[in-house]
Amino acid sequence: MVQQKFCEGCGQAHKCQEVYEELGHAEGPSIARKTLVAFLLPILVFIAGLAIFEGILAGLEIAADLRTVLGLAASLLVTVVFVLIIRASNPPNRFGG
């Protein structure tokens, strides 16, 4: 009902349904791989880095708080470098993303 009131003054209101149907049938490549690389992989890299650096820093005689901060910082650095490498290896598509 709100949609109908919104579309009352629009001269293209009758074409909206056609446009959305056409967009729904658009063919294109699957984005599942890019979605996993963009969202899930950096999280996994961060968690793995955190576990690795925590294991490395556990052998050092430093305060637990400092060990946590160093582990987080190192894991964040590794994750940022990983994301930059992935972005450099994937050229932008025609939509700029």
Structure confidence by residue, pLDDT tens digits, 38-65: 899 999 999 999 999 999 999 888 898 9
Phi-psi region of 96 (alpha: psi -120 to 50; beta: other; left: phi over 0): left
* Spatial separation of the C-alpha atoms in residues 49 and 69, rounded to whole Å: 13
* Spatial separation of the C-alpha atoms in residues 35 and 48, rounded to whole Å: 19
**Does 57 reside within a domain?**
yes
**Does 12 reside within a domain?**
no
Which distant-in-sequence residues (6+ apart) come within 8 Å of 75 by Cβ? 46, 47, 49, 50, 53
pLDDT, position 5: 65
**Does 21 reside within a domain?**
no
Q: Can you tell me which residue has the tokens 């993303």?
A: 97
**Does 4 reside within a domain?**
no
Range of the domain at 81: 30-89
**Does 2 reside within a domain?**
no
Q: Which residue stretches of the chain have pLDDT < 70?
A: 1-7, 13-14, 17, 20, 26, 93-97
For the chain, how many structural domains are there in total? 1
